[in-house]
Amino acid sequence: MSPAPALIEAARAVRENAHAPYSGFKVGAALMSVEGRLHLGCNVENVAYPEGTCAEAGAIAAMIAAGDKRIAEVAVIADSPAPVPPCGGCRQKLAEFAGGDVVVTLATTGGATLVTTVADLLPGAFDAGFMAHAEKSAP
């Protein structure tokens, strides 16, 4: 069975730590690295918009700080009538560290879920392959 229920619960728990005094919209994210370790993030708002941090970005930063490099699965939860997808920037961040077939479970605090993939969230993602033949300019 997929670890998604455990990831959703971890995201639900870390969501409570979100710093969202301006919007009141708390988001939690949990990801499992390919090494099998859990990494968590929550949104952190800042009065100087848009200097906050998304939950997904926080979880990715925690993963990198712990020494892991690849995402195996992701869960994101928010208090919303429907599952909330990651913002465009976080979709690109997820694509950087996860293959297109990596499962992303989007959930609400009310129990609704939507299971998708990184590729479905960001079709035609920009990746390092596009830079393989980039001209290098001499200093």
Model confidence at 139: pLDDT above 70: no
Question: Is 42 annotated as a binding-site member?
Answer: no
The closest of 98, 20, 89 to 57, measured between CA atoms, is 89
Question: Is 49 annotated as a binding-site member?
Answer: yes
The residue whose two tokens read 């390919």 is 34
Determine the pLDDT at residue 112.
Answer: 97
Q: Which candidate in 56, 73, 96, 135 is catalytic?
A: 56
Question: Which amino acid, one-letter code, is at 102?
Answer: V
* CATH topology (fold) of 4-122: Cytidine Deaminase; domain 2 (3.40.140)
Model confidence at 1: pLDDT above 50: no
Catalytic status, residue 135: no
Question: Is 17 annotated as a binding-site member?
Answer: no
Rounded to the nearest 10 degrees, how much is the dihedral formed by the CA atoms of 8, 14, 16, 20?
-110
Confidence of residue 137 (pLDDT cuts 50, 70, 90): low
The domain ranges of the chain are 4-122
Region 61-82: what's the mean pLDDT?
A: 98
Question: Is 29 annotated as a binding-site member?
Answer: no
DSSP state of 44: B
Tens digit of each residue's pLDDT (9 = 90 or more) over 17-48 = 999 999 999 999 999 999 999 999 999 999 99
